[in-house]
Amino acid sequence: MEASSMSDYVELINPNTMTCRLLKNGEVVAIYKMSQCDKCSMLSKHDDFGYQKGYDNRDNIIWFCGGCR
C-alpha cells in the first residue's frame, strides 16, 4: 500500500554550508543556497535582493526573506 500523502519533492538542507538539495522522487533536480532571515529567522532560498545595505551602500548589513521585505 502506497502512502498518498507523500510528496514527490524533498528539500535536504546542510546546516554547515547552508546549501539545499531539492530532490524529486530521490533524484537531485536543483542545488541552491539558503539563508536565515534576520527578522523572522525562517530559512529561505537566498537571493541578493534581500540585503539591506549600510550607510555607504556597499556593506550588506542584514538579510530579509521575501515575506519580511
Instruction: Give 67's contacts (C-beta < 8 A, 6+ positions apart).
Output: 37, 40, 42
What are the 10-residue block averages of pLDDT along the chain, 69 residues in total?
Answer: 70 95 95 95 92 82 92
What pLDDT shows up at residue 45?
A: 93
Place of cell 546549501: 19
What pLDDT shows up at residue 30?
A: 96
What pLDDT shows up at residue 7?
A: 74
Instruction: Give 27's contacts (C-beta < 8 A, 6+ positions apart).
Output: none
